[in-house]
């Protein structure tokens, strides 16, 4: 019912040359992925090159952020239409690095989600708790609030137009993944908050996913795939994670 989905988040990594090599590595090494939806979210300047190199492939692509505005005097921002112009299918919203370093509030994230979904981009909504919040047993509370900011703006059906990624902040880039059981517990909670729409919303896990840890995560009932940072920068590792999602 829910398609397994694996998305690479390159963050602010790769040069034009590395982009070319990495995408060639993905298309050349592509085999054994039949069911899973696979996408890479690349830095803005590399979207045209990505569109060109992935044209004949089964790999979708997108960006890592967008403006909440449709157009206008917003220096440095990039709109949903601009992303669509280059064939983007996905856009990440509310990544914890943006919530933290760019001070993005859940309300702003909800506006971005709406800006993307209205235009037909698939927003990937990131939610997750910090280590301090987990230790204070506030995980469900935090995730619930982050989700509700979007459901209140877009409705439960609106959220179902996107993808949700549970990314515990303490697991991102640290090599310390949540255990499959820990992740499953939060994924089940997210599905519950989404109500009837939860059944057909893909919920991905993100945070130090590696080829070795992916199979046990994907074996969990409510984990539909992964949002992959570091391991998406190595073609062989990313492809191994995609195959594990089959
Ligand atoms: P990581 O990043 O896989 O390097 O932990 C995941 C993410 O930030 O999306």
Site residues for ligand 1, CB cut-off 6 Å: 9, 167, 172-173, 206-209, 227-231
The minimum-distance atom of ligand 1 relative to the CA of 173 is 5
Measure 155 CA to ligand 1 centroid, in angstroms: 28
**Sequence-separated (6 or more) residues with CB below 8 Å from residue 30:** 57, 58, 59, 239
Asked if pLDDT for residue 84 goes beyond 90, the answer is yes
The minimum-distance atom of ligand 1 relative to the CA of 97 is 8
DSSP SS3 for 141 = helix
Measure 230 CA to ligand 1 centroid, in angstroms: 6
User: For 147-156, how does the pLDDT look when each residue is reduced to its tens digit (9 = 90+)?
Assistant: 999 999 999 9
- DSSP E strands in the chain: the ranges are 5-9, 37-41, 59-63, 90-93, 122-127, 163-166, 203-206, 225-228
Active-site residue list? 95, 167
User: For 19-68, how does the pLDDT look when each residue is reduced to its tens digit (9 = 90+)?
Assistant: 999 999 999 999 999 999 999 999 999 999 999 999 999 999 999 999 99
Which of 130, 164, 227, 238 maximizes ligand 1 atoms within 8 Å of its Cβ, making it the mutation to test the pocket?
Answer: 227
């Amino acid at each position: 019912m829910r398609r397994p989905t694996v998305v690479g988040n390159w963050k602010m990594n790769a040069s034009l040359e590395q982009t070319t090599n990495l995408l060639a590595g993905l298309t050349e090494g592509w085999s054994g992925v039949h069911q899973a939806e696979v996408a890479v979210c690349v830095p803005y300047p590399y979207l045209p090159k990505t569109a060109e190199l992935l044209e004949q492939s089964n790999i979708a692509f997108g960006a890592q952020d967008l403006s909440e505005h449709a157009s206008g005097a917003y220096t440095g921002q990039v709109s949903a239409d601009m992303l669509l112009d280059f064939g983007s299918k996905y856009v990440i919203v509310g990544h914890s690095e943006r919530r933290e370093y760019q001070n993005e509030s859940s309300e702003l994230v909800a506006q971005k989600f709406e800006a993307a979904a209205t235009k037909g981009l698939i927003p990937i909504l990131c939610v997750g708790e910090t280590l301090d919040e987990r230790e204070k047993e506030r995980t469900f509370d935090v995730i619930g609030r982050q989700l509700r900011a979007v459901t209140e703006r877009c409705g439960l059906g609106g959220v179902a137009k996107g993808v949700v990624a549970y990314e515990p902040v303490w697991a991102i880039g640290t090599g310390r993944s949540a255990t499959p059981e820990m992740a499953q517990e939060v994924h089940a909670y997210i599905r519950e908050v989404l109500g009837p729409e939860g059944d057909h919303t893909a919920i991905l896990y993100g945070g130090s996913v590696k080829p070795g840890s992916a199979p046990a995560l994907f074996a969990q009932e409510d984990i539909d795939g992964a949002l992959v940072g570091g391991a998406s920068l190595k073609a062989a590792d990313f492809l191994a994670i995609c195959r594990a999602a089959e």
